[in-house]
Amino acid sequence: MIIIKTKKELEIMRQAGLVVAEILERLAGLVKPGITTATLDHFAENYLAERGIKASFKGYNGFPASVCVSVNEEVVHGIPGKRRLNEGDIVSIDMGVIVNGWHGDAAITVPVGEVDPEIMRLLKVTEESLYQGIKAAQVGARLGMVSHAIQSYVETAGFSVVRQYVGHGIGRQMHEDPPVPNYGRQDRGPVLAEGMTIAIEPMVNVGGYEVLVRPDNWTVYTKDGSYSAHFEHTVAITSNGPEILTRK
Ligand code: MG
């Protein structure tokens, strides 16, 4: 069941979104060769603790951290730890918070120092595919138009879209209906209505779309070892068009 949010509820989700946007901006500023992935989690934990804000991910199905940090061939759900970032790596940072009972969820992928131009293109294409998806998220459109916009943009650029993990509705729960695939037909899926809130999150691989999960039961990585990028925003469907909630 898709839960429609009132204007008041959207206002609270906007506050959650702002916190996420602020933290992600600061985390991006911390990324440089030599830092550990745990550094990013510690920053987020301190930031949230100082303000009495809860992270969405910590403890979710037992996830041990506040931020997912996924490096290079890792797609999503990486657990921050002792791994040090190297020049030329890319690092995906995914984070959600709960403000007054409402979630905001977003992700970015950041280059570590100087990165191969083809990998920089991966980051650009993945981020732009997110905006193509957002643009399609209009009242009266089918959700499949969002999915299709992302997939066609990514595949035209020569990359592939992960199938096994998808975006999601979001609100009082981090994961609500509907699932938001990053691939598929335009004429499928529910019709978008004012007050729906969805997290759109393309995961894009340089090589094939197949992914596997590490023995830690969390870290998703590309089967062929190719690099993967991930960008996400929480978006409200409004009569004035899609509104990005996780933006300053
Ligand atoms: Mg999400």
73: CA distance to ligand 1 center in Å? 19
Q: Specify the pTM.
A: 0.97
Q: Mean pLDDT, to the nearest integer, of 122-137?
A: 98
In a domain? residue 182: yes
In a domain? residue 200: yes
Q: Mean pLDDT, to the nearest integer, of 125-149?
A: 98
**Mind listing the pLDDT tens digit for each residue in 143-191?**
999 999 999 999 999 999 999 999 999 999 999 999 999 999 999 999 9
6: CA distance to ligand 1 center in Å? 21
Q: What is the model's pLDDT at position 66? A: 98
**Mind listing the pLDDT tens digit for each residue in 210-240?**
999 999 999 999 999 999 999 999 999 999 9
Owner of token pair 């938001």:
180
201: CA distance to ligand 1 center in Å? 6
Count: domains in the chain? 1
In a domain? residue 248: no
109: CA distance to ligand 1 center in Å? 14
Q: Mean pLDDT, to the nearest integer, of 133-137?
A: 98
67: CA distance to ligand 1 center in Å? 12
105: CA distance to ligand 1 center in Å? 6
User: pLDDT class for 97, splitting at 50, 70, 90?
Assistant: very high
With CA atoms as reference, report the closest residue to 172 among 1, 43, 49: 1
Helical axes 7-30 vs 37-51, angle rounded to 10°: 140
65: CA distance to ligand 1 center in Å? 15
169: CA distance to ligand 1 center in Å? 9
In a domain? residue 42: yes
Q: What is the model's pLDDT at position 61? A: 94
In a domain? residue 2: no
13: CA distance to ligand 1 center in Å? 14
Q: What is the model's pLDDT at position 227? A: 98
180: CA distance to ligand 1 center in Å? 10
107: CA distance to ligand 1 center in Å? 8
In a domain? residue 1: no
Q: What is the model's pLDDT at position 136? A: 98
156: CA distance to ligand 1 center in Å? 24
In a domain? residue 247: no
- Its domain, for residue 111, covers 7-242
Q: What is the model's pLDDT at position 153? A: 98
50: CA distance to ligand 1 center in Å? 24
Q: Mean pLDDT, to the nearest integer, of 198-207?
A: 98
Owner of token pair 């039961």:
217
176: CA distance to ligand 1 center in Å? 10
Q: Mean pLDDT, to the nearest integer, of 91-108?
A: 98
**Mind listing the pLDDT tens digit for each residue in 67-96?**
999 999 999 999 999 999 999 999 999 999
In a domain? residue 82: yes
Identify the CATH number of the domain in which residue 224 sits.
3.90.230.10
231: CA distance to ligand 1 center in Å? 10
**Mind listing the pLDDT tens digit for each residue in 13-64?**
999 999 999 999 999 999 999 999 999 999 999 999 999 999 999 999 999 9
86: CA distance to ligand 1 center in Å? 26
